[in-house]
Amino acid sequence: MQFKQEKESLSKALAVINKQYDRLASIPEYIGDDFTEKVLEDNRRRLRESLIVAKKEPYFARLDFKDEESEEVKATYIGKAGVFDENTGDVLITDWRAPIASLFYGFSGSEDDVYYQSPDGVVEGEIYLKRNIVTYEQELQRVVDRYIRGEQGSSGGDEFLLYKLEDQKDNRLRDIVATIQGEQNEIIRYPLNKAVIIQGVAGSGKTTVALHRLAYLLYEYREQLTAHRMIIFAPNTIFLDYISQVLPELGVGDIVQTTFPKWVMTSIIDDPKCSLESLSERRKTFFESGILEQNNWKGSLDFQQQIREQLSQLEKEWLPEEDFIPWENKQGVPLKKIRNWIEADFKGNPVTKKYERLKAKLTRWVEIEAKMYEEKKEQEQARKDGKQELRRYLRKWKKRKPYELYAQILKKMGRKDLLPPKNKITLDDLAPLLDIHDYWYGIERDEKFDHVVIDEAQDFSPYQVSVLNARTKTASFTILGDLAQGIHSNEGIDEWNNFINLFGTSRAKFFQMTKSYRSTYEIIAFSNIILSHLTNRPAFAEPVFRSGEDVHIQQVEAEEKSAEIISWVHKMKDQDMNTIAVILRSEAECNEIYPKLKEEIPELTIITTEDKSYEGGISLLPVYVSKGLEFDSVLMVDVDEEHYPETEQTIKLLYVGCTRALHHLSVIYSGKASKLISKG
């Protein structure tokens, strides 16, 4: 009955969508210069894009709602893009980001009155139906009622979520518009002008939520935001590739997606002689050797303060020390006056701007003073001499690049030992260099970000976040991470207060996400055992109750290891798993075993720190490279005392590896099993 009804509604909606699309597609694209025509073309382009999305999957949900002012229960169909019926002007499909759609995500089934915030104020009312609708290639596939008013126990919500979570994954992260959960919805729709900081367990949907939040912000604050002034910082290029589909799926383009080092190197360090020490190389050395680096003082706010003090000192010393006297026997501009211009009139300007303004002012002064000579010829000569003298005067102020200033500052601090060679700048030097650049050269208003997303933010230092904050219009951030996965903790933070204090409690909003959507109950319970070994650990993950197989733990003879891996991979292939990962402790070990495995598993690919993309299928990779990714089945290899002793670093690494698995996790070891997989 419902199915038949929905089938009819779908075909009606599709008829309108197709007709509208065909009409628009028949209008030739306008490529002239007429302003009005260009605006109209732009509108048509946007409409066409929405209709293309709607043609593919018109909607995924229906919400029946009666607002208290009205007698009638109205059905709202919710889709990825909003569509109007151009004949009637009625809303045919409501965009998932519209205020009323929030009811669909936030409503958990209580019969009490509910409300949403519309542009005209609060709308109260009652929900009669909450329904998920699955379509594929314009055909209705499934109708799942999650709530029917008056019917007991009608909470198909979990059932529908489980049906979605049981899907196998390919090589890309996907959108979740049909199943956004209440706690996720709250974060996605949190207002723009605060720093939203999220601690979320592995698999809680942090990355996914951050990307949906961007799509929401662009919709809700379309007058204030532009996509190309929003930026996502992700940990590495593989990860960027892995998340690259979500925003286009949500109809959002143009948002810059990059890594912090890449962005700093291209945007401020325009010195060809400066190059970054290979970050992957450094991290590799660190993980392969297991040697922990020193605490990162260069990432601290204390270091920033010292840099700032030195900068202001340098700026003072940089000022000229003599009067400007361009012509003999004539009064020039006294030093006192010049200093006053710089310190009072040009106050608030960055150093190079002050220089530019002073240059302009002195040039004007020369022009005016030259006119005081009576003869035209004399005037011209005076102008010429004056300008020449001005060039000489200004030449005393040497232009300095950020690296040179950095070198000078560290020397003054008596810490020359902290200066990296120019061709080997390290990650820790990027925040100070950016800070120095911005102090000296300034940031243009149109260079500032409207919103910044930092993924895996536990690996960011307070200094990095502080300089990004200075480059962001209204401290508008989405900062997400998991302290339990802070495998680069020597680079980052060990508590979120480091960032909360930086913004101030009134400018920051902290959320915790403890539900894990990625893995089965058994995998999460197993990973929580590993986590229990961590002193100062964040909250345990709570599973969404999706049960699967037990985690397989097996001891194998060292010489049988390759054979065991091969047999496991074949077993997973027989179970039709899409993405399969064999995870080892180090890259060297991956390289060593790879040829042997490849003989028996020709489709096997090895993923290393240098790789730029993840192709899916069957992968062999070191554990620290697996961070952020996910696979249907995971085999953790060498989980023994030697590879995973009880240290903070290895607890986090093993936790990261195990929580990559969606449906199946196996663990093998030779010799003694790591203590981390037994209760601590």
Ligand X SMILES: Nc1ncnc2c1ncn2[C@@H]1O[C@H](COP(=O)(O)OP(=O)(O)OP(=O)(O)O)[C@@H](O)[C@H]1O
Residues of each annotated binding site? 200-207
Binding mask 142-161 for ligand X (x = CB under 6 A): -------------------x
Q: How far is the CB of 442 from ligand X (least distance, A)?
A: 35
CB contact at 8 A, 532 and 504 = no
Q: How far is the CB of 105 from ligand X (least distance, A)?
A: 9
Of the residues 79, 125, 157, 200, which one makes contact with ligand X according to CB under 6 A: 200
Binding mask 249-288 for ligand X (x = CB under 6 A): ----------------------------------------
Of the residues 79, 125, 157, 205, which one makes contact with ligand X according to CB under 6 A: 205
Q: How far is the CB of 615 from ligand X (least distance, A)?
A: 17
Closer residue to ligand X (CB): 397 or 540? 540
Does residue 72 sit in helix, strand or coil? coil
Of the residues 135, 179, 469, 472, which one makes contact with ligand X according to CB under 6 A: 179
Q: What angle do helix axes 301-318 and 462-470 make, rounded to 10 degrees?
A: 50
Does residue 366 sit in helix, strand or coil? helix
Closer residue to ligand X (CB): 200 or 538? 200
* Position 578 contacts ligand X (CB under 6 A): no
Q: How many other CB atoms are found less than 10 A from the CB of residue 319?
A: 15
- Residue closest to ligand X (Cβ): 205
* Position 174 contacts ligand X (CB under 6 A): yes
CB contact at 8 A, 476 and 192 = yes
Q: How far is the CB of 279 from ligand X (least distance, A)?
A: 19
Alpha helices by DSSP H, 396-441: 402-412, 427-441
* Position 537 contacts ligand X (CB under 6 A): no
CB contact at 8 A, 546 and 520 = yes
Closer residue to ligand X (CB): 22 or 158? 158
Q: How many other CB atoms are found less than 10 A from the CB of residue 410?
A: 20
Return the exposure string of 123-140: e unless at least 16 CB atoms fall within 10 Å of the residue's CB, then b: bebebbbbbbbbbeeeeb
Q: How far is the CB of 163 from ligand X (least distance, A)?
A: 10
Closer residue to ligand X (CB): 251 or 326? 251
From CA 262, how far away is CA 258, in angstroms rounded? 7
**Span 504-523, contacts to ligand X by CB under 6 A:** 517-518
Alpha helices by DSSP H, 504-643: 521-531, 561-574, 587-600
Nearest to 358 by CA among 324, 328, 381, 382: 324
From CA 162, how far away is CA 433, in angstroms rounded? 48
Of the residues 63, 180, 227, 307, which one makes contact with ligand X according to CB under 6 A: 180
Among 113-121, 177-185, 328-336, 421-429, which window interacts with ligand X (CB under 6 A)? 177-185
Closer residue to ligand X (CB): 249 or 277? 249
Q: How far is the CB of 579 from ligand X (least distance, A)?
A: 11
Nearest to 60 by CA among 131, 166, 149, 155: 131
Q: How far is the CB of 157 from ligand X (least distance, A)?
A: 11
To which H or E segment does residue 360 belong?
helix 351-370
Nearest to 583 by CA among 634, 650, 646: 634
Size of the site for ligand X (CB under 6 A): 25
How buried is residue 180: exposed, middle or buried, by Cβ count under 10 Å (0-12/13-18/19+)? buried
* Position 402 contacts ligand X (CB under 6 A): no
Of the residues 17, 103, 202, 607, which one makes contact with ligand X according to CB under 6 A: 202
- Token pair recorded at residue 498: 């480091």
Of the residues 6, 145, 428, 482, which one makes contact with ligand X according to CB under 6 A: 482
Nearest to 462 by CA among 440, 491, 485, 488: 491
Of the residues 469, 659, 670, 674, which one makes contact with ligand X according to CB under 6 A: 659
CB contact at 8 A, 229 and 449 = yes
Among 196-204, 444-452, 570-578, 664-672, which window interacts with ligand X (CB under 6 A)? 196-204
Q: How far is the CB of 304 from ligand X (least distance, A)?
A: 28
From CA 361, how far away is CA 367, in angstroms rounded? 10
* Residue 673 backbone phi and psi in degrees, to 5: -65, 145
Among 144-152, 171-179, 594-602, 607-615, which window interacts with ligand X (CB under 6 A)? 171-179
**Span 599-628, contacts to ligand X by CB under 6 A:** 628
Of the residues 76, 135, 208, 666, which one makes contact with ligand X according to CB under 6 A: 208
From CA 236, how far away is CA 234, in angstroms rounded? 6
Nearest to 173 by CA among 368, 455, 435: 455
Closer residue to ligand X (CB): 132 or 659? 659
Which residues contribute to the annotated binding site for ATP?
200-207
Closer residue to ligand X (CB): 207 or 619? 207
End-to-end CA distance of the chain: 55
The site for ligand X (CB under 6 A) is made up of 161, 164-165, 173-174, 176, 179-181, 184, 200, 202-208, 482, 485, 517-518, 628, 630, 659
